Chain A
């Protein structure tokens, strides 16, 4: 284990910013701390760095308890949200700062800085000052500066927050690329689930100071452990149903009761991709009108409205959209292929239910 947290808590006065969190990061892993703002993820990162002291619990780096080790002695590389480059120093001096402090000989220092400038494609910018750089370049200088003294772990706080969308994508690729090359244990904080899914080996999800789930991107997407995670990772349609006459119903939609007593409420959630649609009004069980089409690139987001006014969000590929020949205002039929019963906050989620659509075996039935 490169980094390990054991029951770590951080309280500011009465408020627990981080509440008894335990997890480990393996050597060479690339892990995302994901959560909404105020979820405690940045506090966790700062505690690993030694910029904050935990109120309770132990933090270990490479098996050694570091609670009482100062920031300076922890040998971590930290990339701040606003980069925090030394604005009175040139790019070269920024990157060389940690080496100078650690008293590297001048020749080795220069060689190391040159190496990092090349690695991060910053050649030719060594004499520039931070205010003469673009956002993406500043970010790369910040990463180079953090990596220069060969830290045992690299910590990044919202590394892609302050740059525009195009550069953000570029930097994501950078981080993955860089991590592949150096395989230094890396932990980064983000509130963007897409970013976390795309970049990391594993995701640690925080909500309200608690660790909600930890797992590979696919795991947390397909098997969220609770409603918070399910809602936070990806888009989730949530329906509030009431059990009446032996089925959980909301207007025209009905689902099995899942053992919930007659008259009580039941909540279910389903991913947009679990909604099947067809132009053939007889193919699926429910009817709806295609209200809006949002173009997202390869995917399109469709908003369906049922005759009773329920809004269902779904996604289809551009190819399918063209194949089906859909247009706003069309009538279509749909079905919810998979859904899950959402339990109370914090409780574990039961597995997804496959609602096998039973096409009428024969239209002659019942004649």
Chain B
């Protein structure tokens, strides 16, 4: 009796030890992760700002107001201004369709939404050239009617749309799945039409997730390089977006200007990250509140 009980205790102690790493292992792992993050993430980022300000604030600001750069800023804002609203509408519609209805091809649609994540942006650009380019399928027909897609704004907008399709939809689908359709059905039994239900019930309950998706979508729309590079034609002052402008300035050995714009984009990324973290925190807190056991009053 005694020996068996000792043996059980012994094995329990061993198993406790097995699930907990010794302190030095934890220390090494933390140090390695921190070093990695510092060397590969923080230092380059600091370097961007350092290079941008190497010749002082004035030079950096001056390079931002240079005409070609200004037009790149405008073009980038125009592209994001078109793509983000369109993909927001598409994302809501797709998420609504996928989470609220059963239909044939639902799995296919879900996979298609993910497609831009798995296709290299360069391939995306080449595909659009194949379709809309002068030697492509639709290009000559459009050209006859005086519509230029490739090496012009429409091409840049199209590829950016394609690349940023998943962001809003991907964010909303799991959220709307967990929320279910009970609240919407309740609104309908109270007389609300489909639109009223969406506006008063669905939208308020997904707004933080939606905003999060929109922010990510915007960051990508402004930062996309590969696909835009293939279809833009790199015409300074006309079809250069901010990322393309950075590349061009860098190739021209204009480090300060290149890094000034890079710093602008990096700032955008940092703000996006900050907002994202704050929204995530908020969303989780709301979820916790909604799921917490009710207090007895």
Chain A residues packing against B (C-beta within 8 Å): 49-51, 71-73, 75-78, 80, 82, 84-89, 97-98, 101-102, 125, 130-135, 137-138, 145-146, 148-149
Please measure, in the bound complex, the distance between the C-alpha atom of A77 and the C-alpha atom of B295, giving whole angstroms: 27
- Answer whether A135 and B201 are a contact pair too, CB < 8 Å, given A84-B186, A102-B191, A146-B189: no
Q: Do residues A78 and B292 form an inter-chain contact, with CB atoms below 8 A?
A: no
CB contact list, B71-95 vs A, under 8 A: none
Q: Do residues A131 and B192 form an inter-chain contact, with CB atoms below 8 A?
A: no
Partner of B294, one of A76, A88, A101, A131: A131
Interface SS majority for chain B: helix
- Answer whether A77 and B189 are a contact pair too, CB < 8 Å, given A87-B290, A135-B294: yes
Q: Do residues B190 and A84 form an inter-chain contact, with CB atoms below 8 A?
A: no
28 pairs, CB–CB < 8 Å, chain A vs chain B: A51-B188, A51-B189, A71-B185, A72-B191, A73-B191, A75-B191, A78-B185, A78-B186, A80-B186, A82-B182, A84-B183, A86-B187, A86-B201, A86-B204, A88-B201, A97-B187, A97-B192, A98-B191, A102-B191, A125-B297, A131-B289, A132-B295, A133-B297, A135-B294, A145-B190, A146-B189, A148-B190, A149-B190
Q: Could you tell me the distance in whole angstroms from the C-beta of A233 to the nearest C-beta in chain B?
A: 30
Chain B minimum-CB-distance residue to A131 = B289
Please measure, in the bound complex, the distance between the C-alpha atom of A125 and the C-alpha atom of B297, giving whole angstroms: 10
Chain B residues whose C-beta falls within 8 Å of the C-beta of A138 in the assembled complex? 294
Question: Please, how many residues of chain B have a CB less than 8 angstroms from a CB on the other chain?
Answer: 23
Chain B residues whose C-beta falls within 8 Å of the C-beta of A97 in the assembled complex? 187, 190, 192, 200
Chain B residues whose C-beta falls within 8 Å of the C-beta of A133 in the assembled complex? 294, 297
Q: Do residues B205 and A87 form an inter-chain contact, with CB atoms below 8 A?
A: yes
- Answer whether A51 and B185 are a contact pair too, CB < 8 Å, given A133-B297, A134-B295: yes
Please measure, in the bound complex, the distance between the C-alpha atom of A141 and the C-alpha atom of B294, giving whole angstroms: 14
Chain A residues whose C-beta falls within 8 Å of the C-beta of B297 in the assembled complex? 125, 133-134, 137
Please measure, in the bound complex, the distance between the C-alpha atom of A131 and the C-alpha atom of B205, giving whole angstroms: 13
Quick one: which of B182, B189, B192, B201 has the most chain A CB within 10 A?
A: B189
The answer, yes or no, to whether B120 is at the interface (CB within 8 Å) is no
Partner of B189, one of A49, A82, A86, A102: A49
Q: Could you tell me the distance in whole angstroms from the C-beta of A133 to the nearest C-beta in chain B?
A: 6
Q: Do residues A80 and B191 form an inter-chain contact, with CB atoms below 8 A?
A: no
Quick one: which of B182, B200, B294 has the most chain A CB within 10 A?
A: B294
- Answer whether A76 and B189 are a contact pair too, CB < 8 Å, given A84-B182, A86-B183, A87-B205: yes
Please measure, in the bound complex, the distance between the C-alpha atom of A125 and the C-alpha atom of B183, giving whole angstroms: 20
Please measure, in the bound complex, the distance between the C-alpha atom of A162 and the C-alpha atom of B191, giving whole angstroms: 26
The answer, yes or no, to whether B2 is at the interface (CB within 8 Å) is no
Q: Could you tell me the distance in whole angstroms from the C-beta of A120 to the nearest C-beta in chain B?
A: 14
- Answer whether A88 and B189 are a contact pair too, CB < 8 Å, given A97-B200, A133-B294: no
